[in-house]
């Protein structure tokens, strides 16, 4: 974190010399913003109708609560997984640059999107005892230099005063999930996580956080471990939904 602070000091110094510009198009913007007004309009919120369990948007007109076919055909351990934004276009690009391009300052923008998920009616009335980031395998974390979910969890913790605790650890180095279908993902993730030694989630209302929700398999596996360890409830929030 020391390196990160130095980096931000350097950035602050640089922004005195150069005015801030939109991350996407390079137009001049106000300080402490990341996107210009025009790019901001291309960041799309997920709007109803969507699956009550996993937030998968549904094209067409359905009124009232419903679950998608994927949720109907698997055991869901989380109470709800909420994403506020579509992980397309600009959102996808920003998350990608944050995660793989080492553009760590973008975590503030991604954390704003994550924070927006808490306004969803499935989460906004709830009280959470702990924020739990989805863990990376130690080898992957060394390669990347940070855990994006961990950084987002810390920012969310500062904003909400809910403590963030990395109670889960990833014990299997899994290959990338991208090329796998849903059942292969589940198989690939089985026993990939466990509760850290001396961690105790018994009776707690847990908010699990990650950057992106894709099929929900990772969140579901984490939720399974947390529930098995005695968590009272597990809700998940992500910045975007692929
Ligand atoms: Zn722009
Ligand atoms: Zn669903």
The predicted model scores a pTM of 0.88
- Do 8 and 105 touch, CB atoms closer than 8 A? yes
Give the chain's mean pLDDT.
90
CA angle 158, 39, 149 (to 5 degrees): 30
Work out whether the CA dihedral 70, 114, 226, 143 comes out positive or negative: positive
Q: Report how far residue 132's alpha carbon sits from residue 8's, in angstroms, rounded to the nearest whole number.
A: 25
Sign of CA dihedral 203, 231, 99, 160: negative
Where would I find the beta strands (DSSP E) of the chain? 80-86, 130-133, 168-170, 193-195, 205-213, 233-241
CA of 202 to the centre of ligand 2 (A): 27
Residue 167 · residue 209 · CB < 8 Å: no
Residue 44 burial (C-beta neighbours within 10 Å; 0-12, 13-18, 19+): middle
Of residues 13 and 239, the one with the higher pLDDT is: 239
Query: Which of 8-12, 68-72, 92-96, 127-131 is predicted with the least confidence, judged by mean pLDDT?
Result: 8-12
Distance 29 CA to ligand 1 centre (A): 8
d(C-alpha 38, C-alpha 35), whole Å: 8
Distance between Cα 26 and ligand 1 center (Å): 6
pLDDT of residue 46: 92
Distance 216 CA to ligand 2 centre (A): 8
Q: How far is the CA of 52 from the centre of ligand 2 (A)?
A: 7
Task: Record the tokens describing residue 47, joined without a space.
Answer: 């709007």
Q: How far is the CA of 55 from the centre of ligand 2 (A)?
A: 6
Percent of the chain with pLDDT over 90: 69
pLDDT at 192 over 80: yes
How many A from CA of 196 to the centre of ligand 1?
A: 42
pLDDT digit string (tens) for 224-238? 999 999 999 999 999
Q: How far is the CA of 94 from the centre of ligand 1 (A)?
A: 12
Structure tokens at 206: 């847990």
Residues 188/157, Cβ–Cβ less than 8 Å: no
- At 190, list the tokens: 């089985």
> What is the Å distance from ligand 2's center to 95 Cα?
22
In this prediction, residue 14 carries a pLDDT of 65
State in Å: Cα 71 to ligand 2 middle.
4
């Amino acid at each position: 974190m020391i390196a990160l602070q130095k980096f931000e000091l350097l950035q602050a110094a640089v922004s005195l010399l150069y005015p801030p510009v939109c991350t996407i198009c390079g137009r001049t913007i106000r300080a402490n913003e990341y996107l210009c007004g025009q790019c901001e309009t291309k960041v799309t919120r997920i709007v109803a109708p969507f699956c009550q369990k996993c937030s998968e948007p549904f094209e067409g007109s359905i009124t009232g609560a419903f679950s998608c076919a994927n949720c109907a055909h698997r055991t869901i351990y989380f109470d709800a997984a909420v994403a506020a934004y579509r992980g397309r276009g600009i959102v996808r690009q920003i998350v990608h640059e944050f995660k793989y391009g080492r553009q760590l300052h973008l975590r503030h923008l991604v954390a704003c999107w994550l924070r927006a998920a808490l306004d969803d009616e499935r989460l906004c009335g709830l009280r959470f005892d702990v924020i739990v980031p989805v863990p990376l395998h130690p080898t992957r974390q060394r390669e990347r230099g940070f855990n994006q979910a961990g950084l987002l969890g810390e920012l969310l913790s500062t904003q909400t005063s809910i403590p963030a605790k990395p109670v889960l650890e990833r014990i299997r180095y899994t290959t990338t999930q991208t090329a796998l279908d849903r059942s292969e993902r589940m198989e690939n993730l089985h026993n990939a996580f466990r509760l850290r030694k001396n961690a105790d989630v018994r009776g707690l209302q847990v908010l699990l956080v990650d950057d992106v929700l894709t099929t929900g398999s990772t969140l579901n596996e984490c939720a399974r471990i947390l529930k098995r360890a005695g968590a009272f409830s597990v809700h998940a929030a992500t910045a975007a939904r692929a």
